A and B are shown apart, each in its own frame.
Chain A
Amino acid sequence: MAAVQGGLVDAVEKKDIKTEPSEDSGGNNNANDGRLLSPPPGSSASAPGGNKPPAGAPEDQQTLLAVLQFLRKNNLAESVEILRREAGLPEDALDLKAGDSAGAEDASSLLSRVTVSSSAAAQAPTKAVEDQPDVNVVLSAYSQQGDPALYGVYYSGLKRFIESVLDCHRAELSQVFYPLFVHMYLELVYNNHENEAKVFFEKFSGDQECYYEDDLRVLSSLTKKEHMRGNETLLDFRTSKFVLRISRDSYQLLKRHLQERQNNQIWNIIQEHLYIDIFDGMPRSKSQIDAMSGSLAGEAKREANKAKVYYGLLKEPEIELPLDDEDEEAENEEGKPKKKKPKKDSMGSKSKKQDPNAPSQTRIPLPELKDSDKLDKIMYMKEATKRIRLGPDNLPSICFYSFLNAYQGLTAVDFTDDSSLIAGGFADSTVRVWSVTPKKLRKVKSAADLNLIDKESDDVLERIMDEKTASESKILYGHSGPVYGISFSPDRNYLLTCSEDGTIRLWSLQTFTCLVGYKGHNYPVWDTQFSPHGYYFISGGHDRVARLWATDHYQPLRMFSGHLADITSTRFHPNSNYVVTGSSDRTIRLWDVLTGNCVRIFTGHKGPIHALAFSPNGKFLASGATDGRVLLWDIGHGLMIGELKGHTDTIYSLKFSRDGEILASGSMDNTVRLWDATKAFDDLETDDFTAATGHIHLQDNSQELLLGTYMSKSTPVIHLHFTRRNLLLAAGAYNP
């Protein structure tokens, strides 16, 4: 239900819509033209808020002129030409102006407003401008002035008011403190009131919630206007509105108070930099608010989580007939052909049922199944019949793979789905692959040798392998920086790694060579993962953009931008139609692969999110962060449904058991913990979601859900994997 909003808020909303394009372009800083065109919408957005005169026709032309001048200054002759033609300006317009000293001054003054509010802009290295196209626009919004000495008074006045309101409103209104504090501080800094800013910070920073500590640390080091340029955290604050969810009653209270007091300073900030999402109903309690807050830009707007998400699984491909034949053959070979049939049928019938929540089979094109894939599926089903049914009384065994002599260098680990290979990425830029089965790793023979092979023979696949190269592990060289993410393709033919050097590399596990280096991220790539159906993969890194790639394209197919800080982890939904990204802005976003839209924003973590896992049925998501908590999310409703507390350090790994009954989490605190996922989700199903307002009460039942804690010997757990039979594999480097 859409909130009915007051006039003021309406205005806020409209502005918000307008700024959106500029936000998006903030991510796509690929082309010069795109960058240069983005300032206008941004500036128009900030114009009504700032103290600039309303934009008019002559102003527009001046802006264009200013842009032209800027282009010319940077020797972008063609762009100048194009822009001039499109705008219909006379060829000599600029020259005229340039000749006219007054005009030039005019233009340059405007330019300075558009680019930077001081003349430093022109000299600012282009590099910085390229990185943050709308920095200066953003900064200029702070130019409004108030008496710096009064900031503290205003703030404490509001504080006193909020502390005096009824308890039920106090928690809600307290949310205002943090964004207000930040913006007031930044305003002071921007206007060169360094000392006042310092005093203000010292006086009030202690009041802020502890989970904002990291941001406060960044803020505290920022004491000069010059520092503001290029500071990412600051930019995040400015480019996005801090979202608060407040009940109507509380909001009215606040509004009345501010209007009575004529407290324009605060009111301006609230209007300009805050987005207040008003809902009807009971105000939320402190614990409810705390559960959801903590992200860099406040909570998610409710509208953001309204889109329909097809979280159901895709139908299993129709490979039953050949499957049965081959299966029987295989069975016969093994000499125990019975008892398989009924199981197969049940499997088949299950997959025939179409899940109403599933996307259509062809929503995104998936690669055709090859014969080898079908064989693998058969293997999978066979193994699945031998799977151990897990539960609170039947805990999985855990096999721990310790990397010895890694000298703190192990940065990423992955297992193949069938648990036959394990790969590790290291800080020394190497990638190593081990075989954990007796089957050794072999390379394909060289081209010359392959010519000698009898291609008609049945075991040609066996013959192409070079026995001489058989070994238990192989090293892949190619990256030039620590390898932070690693992922096997589902068919075990490829390995994907991403690194600090900004590239993602695709390796062949047949030849053990690098096939492709995908370049696109200019900064470290923190994580990458193959789609469960192969072919596609997702990557995310320091540039805050997640990219969707296909193995046969050297450029990304989709770019998902919207996160306000580094993307720290990426995962594919089991149906390959969605990807989820976790970020250091402490939010999780779910993206639709088809449209590229962000369909869910989850807030609630208090630290960068380093682990994500979908439940096998695709309905739920688990996330782990540096705060040591695991949060559970219902994707369909877009709600937080559980919080698992217990870990004392960053969680680097999460995995659901194959049937989804157990959630395993591995952490820097050297423990593997097992949680009762069935109970966590079931308890909830009976609860009625107060989906209308999107608030839920989380009961603190972590202790009941915790099924086991297994301490390793000074070995942080950085990867977990359930084998097809539900044996849990864990991996980490021993750190004596």
Chain B
Amino acid sequence: MAEERRPKQCTVVLPTESMKAMAESIGVGQLQEESCVALSEEVSYRIKEIAQDALKFMHHGKRRKLTTNDIDNALKLKNVEPLYGFQSQEFIPFRFASGGGRELHFYEEKEVDLSDIINTPLPRVPLDVSLKAHWLSIEGVQPSIPENPPPAPKEQQKVESTEPLKVVKPGQEEDGTVQGKGQGATAADGKGKEKGLIRLKPRSTHELSVEQQLYYKEITEACVGSCEAKRAEALQSIATDPGLYQMLPRFSTFISEGVRVNVVQNNLALLIYLMRMVKALMDNPTLYLEKYLHELIPAVVTCIVSKQLCLRPDVDNHWALRDFAARLMAQSCKTFSTTTNNIQSRITKTFTKSWLDEKTQWTTRYGCIAGLAELGADVIKTLILPRLTVEGARIKAVMEGPVVSNIDKIGADHVQSLLLKHCASVIAKIRPQPDNVEQYRIDYGYLGPMLCSHVMKARTQAALQAQQVNRTTLTITQPRPTLTVSQSGLSGSAGPRTPSIIKVPSSLTLMSPRPGTPSQPSPPATKYIVMATSAGPASTQQVITLSSSQSASPVTSTVPSATSTLQPLVKLESGSGPGLTGSRPMQKYIVVSLPSSASSSLENKSSVLPTSISSTPIEAGMKLDRSESPGASTQSPH
């Protein structure tokens, strides 16, 4: 590799212009060209020399990266005064400008707003050095614990699953066995000795050690058990443990069987738990799931489109499960869909087909739309938008027609808010302004006026966000995801025992100002601060910055439509009170379709606003929210 570099080595010399520029910077004008050449050669040589010495320090510092300290030390070695306090966050501190035949290099010194500095959260205090011991190997076998790298790297799993019939060559075979000696676990079997004539699928052993069996038992029990704390731990373990490769087939069967049984029994809570397991498996960076999609996808799709997922469809929030599963589906499409397996197009076809069916129930209809909508803006544009009119008419028939059944009404309402939610942002992008209500009515029928207000809201929101740092916008847009689901599911099935499970942090009081000042940016911000406290120390800082920027968007958006069905405050309160819903999805339906029983309690609360009750579930929701957000952010097409 260095062979190619070598010819260059003797020719690399600083340009003479830099000499001139440097001379000017210290007040020497009109440097002779010859002196420049001589100087640049000399300087280049010295720089190389110093770099070579600095390398020595890097090697002795046991690093792979050369640091400025190494250069300082090398200078010291040469009896040259080191550069004090050289620190640049950017790669090159100089800026270049030219004009009027002159070229300039200068330091860019920006004016810094003091308040910015003051308001910037303090950086994390660096932790002190600490010592941690773990077993790298036990009698020659490397245990698969989080401290050790995964025994079968993801690439290898991918290769195994996507090219299962690769020819086993003698050379590779050797590699495998040598590694196997060290790694102990996953040695390729030694049958490929017939000179690669036979195409063998490398046999991977799925025998579990006693420890692994115990682990599997504990994890699965915790995942579907009643203790939320244990479940969180188990899911965390599934999402991070590097040694699960061996157990993957069992987990996948567990999930698929579990869904099959619980759908029949309409056990919403268990279905939610199982979906959370799927999510955790997908989050695990060391697992490659493609081999097990044939079991996982049907299970997930079931949770999206099944006619009935719970015993009391009018009360339980199975919608959240559908949303959650739809997001999972979208994520796996994104990750695993290839031209060979065509997952995405097959899934899309399935959803569209049952959506188009006239006899499809509202629940399934909701699932299909959610599933499609999560697949991205393109899918919404091509498949959902053209059908808005038809769907609107159907919804109108239910909402304004003769009272059919409460269930249908709730279903229609959900479908409506779902459509509004997903379509508004897409329309905002593709439709030119201005937004005319009448025009919308013509284009989209019954849903037109509502769409129009949503689109306008989306536009103002987008405009606001554009002013913010772009990094924050991503995370802002999805407070809705998963945690809410789990939270609501739990409380829905097990009754309002949430407070006992989730500890109320002291910071809860922060929530109280929110109801009083609906349109001020500050109260929503406090919401996020709570979030920050629950998050690990690692991301605290980030989250806080988010909060301020986020605060503006939801609030301003509510202003124009204050009279309409959506008012964020009410939503939050109501959702938390009866424990029916999570913080986000309820935004739409609560105000509209308030069941009479719930509404009374809701009103009480909105007036009294007992901070502890209202805040607890939200806080819990937020907490989960945060941990899930990376995954969610990738899938949301904002």
- The 8 Å CB contact of B138, one of A220, A397, A584, is A397
Tell me the minimal C-beta distance from A8 to chain B in angstroms.
34
Residues of A within 8 A of B137 (CB): 395-398, 672, 708, 710
Interface check A139, CB cutoff 8 A: no
Kindly report which residue of chain B lies nearest to residue A608, judged by CB atoms: B59
| A-side interface size class | 35 or more
Interface check B62, CB cutoff 8 A: yes
| Cβ contact within 8 Å between A703 and B10 | no
Residues of B within 8 A of A411 (CB): 60-62
Residues of B within 8 A of A221 (CB): 9-10, 44-45, 48-49
- Residues 33-53 of B, flagged 1 when their CB comes within 8 A of A and 0 if not, give 000000001101100110010
Tell me the minimal C-beta distance from B424 to chain A in angstroms.
41
Interface check A386, CB cutoff 8 A: no
Residues of A within 8 A of B140 (CB): 394-396, 707-708
- Residues 392-418 of A, flagged 1 when their CB comes within 8 A of B and 0 if not, give 001111111111111111110000000
Kindly report which residue of chain B lies nearest to residue A703, judged by CB atoms: B178
| Cβ contact within 8 Å between A402 and B77 | no
CA distance A730 to B137 in the complex (A): 11
- The 8 Å CB contact of A400, one of B6, B52, B133, B179, is B133
Interface check B17, CB cutoff 8 A: no
Kindly report which residue of chain B lies nearest to residue A218, judged by CB atoms: B52
Q: Which of B126-155 contact A (CB under 8 A)?
A: 126-140, 142, 147-149
Tell me the minimal C-beta distance from B228 to chain A in angstroms.
30
| Cβ contact within 8 Å between A399 and B135 | yes
Residues of B within 8 A of A226 (CB): 42
Interface check A206, CB cutoff 8 A: yes
**Which of B79, B137, B178 has the most C-beta atoms of chain A within 10 angstroms of its own C-beta?**
B137
Interface check A578, CB cutoff 8 A: no
Interface check A174, CB cutoff 8 A: no
Kindly report which residue of chain B lies nearest to residue A197, judged by CB atoms: B10
Tell me the minimal C-beta distance from B20 to chain A in angstroms.
21
CA distance A526 to B63 in the complex (A): 15
| Cβ contact within 8 Å between B69 and A405 | no
Tell me the minimal C-beta distance from B325 to chain A in angstroms.
33
Residues of B within 8 A of A227 (CB): 45
Interface check A432, CB cutoff 8 A: yes
Tell me the minimal C-beta distance from A80 to chain B in angstroms.
28
Given A400-B147, A711-B149, answer yes or no on A584-B60 (Cβ-Cβ < 8 Å).
no
Tell me the minimal C-beta distance from B110 to chain A in angstroms.
28
| Cβ contact within 8 Å between A422 and B131 | yes
- Residues 290-324 of B, flagged 1 when their CB comes within 8 A of A and 0 if not, give 00000000000000000000000000000000000
| Cβ contact within 8 Å between A406 and B59 | no
| Cβ contact within 8 Å between B182 and A708 | yes
Tell me the minimal C-beta distance from B24 to chain A in angstroms.
25
Kindly report which residue of chain B lies nearest to residue A208, judged by CB atoms: B6
Main secondary structure of the interface of A (DSSP, over half): mixed
**Could you pull out 10 A-B pairs where Cβ atoms are within 8 angstroms?**
A205-B6, A217-B6, A220-B10, A221-B48, A224-B45, A227-B45, A500-B73, A566-B56, A707-B140, A713-B148
For the complex, count residues of B whose C-beta is within 8 A of A.
54
CA distance A422 to B42 in the complex (A): 47
Interface check A63, CB cutoff 8 A: no
| Cβ contact within 8 Å between A610 and B59 | yes
Kindly report which residue of chain B lies nearest to residue A202, judged by CB atoms: B7
Residues of B within 8 A of A584 (CB): 56
Interface check B95, CB cutoff 8 A: no
CA distance A43 to B338 in the complex (A): 76
| Cβ contact within 8 Å between B6 and A206 | yes
CA distance A224 to B76 in the complex (A): 24
Q: Which of B50-105 contact A (CB under 8 A)?
A: 52, 56-57, 59-65, 67, 69, 73, 76-77, 79
Interface check A626, CB cutoff 8 A: yes
Q: Closest 6 A-B residue pairs measured CB to CB?
A: A395-B140, A398-B136, A400-B136, A708-B182, A220-B10, A221-B48
Beyond the given pairs A399-B136, A404-B130, 18 more chain A to chain B contacts, judged by CB atoms under 8 angstroms and listed by A's residue number, are A127-B79, A216-B6, A218-B52, A221-B44, A221-B49, A226-B42, A394-B139, A395-B137, A399-B135, A401-B131, A481-B73, A482-B69, A484-B60, A608-B59, A668-B64, A708-B181, A710-B136, A711-B148
Interface check A582, CB cutoff 8 A: no
Interface check B118, CB cutoff 8 A: no
A-B contact count (CB 8 A): 171
Kindly report which residue of chain A lies nearest to residue B12, judged by CB atoms: A221
- The 8 Å CB contact of A706, one of B62, B64, B178, is B178
Kindly report which residue of chain B lies nearest to residue A649, judged by CB atoms: B64
Residues of A within 8 A of B42 (CB): 224, 226
Residues of B within 8 A of A396 (CB): 137, 139-140
| Cβ contact within 8 Å between A223 and B131 | no
Tell me the minimal C-beta distance from A487 to chain B in angstroms.
15
| Cβ contact within 8 Å between A395 and B139 | yes
Kindly report which residue of chain B lies nearest to residue A626, judged by CB atoms: B59
Interface check B2, CB cutoff 8 A: yes
Residues of A within 8 A of B194 (CB): none
Residues of A within 8 A of B69 (CB): 427, 482
| Cβ contact within 8 Å between A223 and B41 | yes
CA distance A397 to B136 in the complex (A): 8
| Cβ contact within 8 Å between A404 and B10 | no
Q: Which of A183-206 contact B (CB under 8 A)?
A: 198, 201-202, 205-206
CA distance A223 to B13 in the complex (A): 11
**Which of A404, A408, A710, A716 has the most C-beta atoms of chain B within 10 angstroms of its own C-beta?**
A710
Interface check B357, CB cutoff 8 A: no
| Cβ contact within 8 Å between B62 and A524 | no
Residues of A within 8 A of B2 (CB): 210, 213, 217
Kindly report which residue of chain B lies nearest to residue A542, judged by CB atoms: B77
- Residues 4-31 of B, flagged 1 when their CB comes within 8 A of A and 0 if not, give 0011011100000000000000000000
Residues of B within 8 A of A707 (CB): 140, 181-182
Residues of B within 8 A of A399 (CB): 133-136
Interface check B3, CB cutoff 8 A: yes
- The 8 Å CB contact of B136, one of A473, A650, A730, is A730
Interface check A311, CB cutoff 8 A: no
Residues of B within 8 A of A213 (CB): 2, 6
- Residues 213-236 of A, flagged 1 when their CB comes within 8 A of B and 0 if not, give 100111011111011000100000
| Cβ contact within 8 Å between B132 and A401 | yes
Residues of B within 8 A of A222 (CB): 45
Tell me the minimal C-beta distance from A662 to chain B in angstroms.
11
Residues of A within 8 A of B57 (CB): 482, 500, 524
Interface check A602, CB cutoff 8 A: no
Interface check A436, CB cutoff 8 A: yes
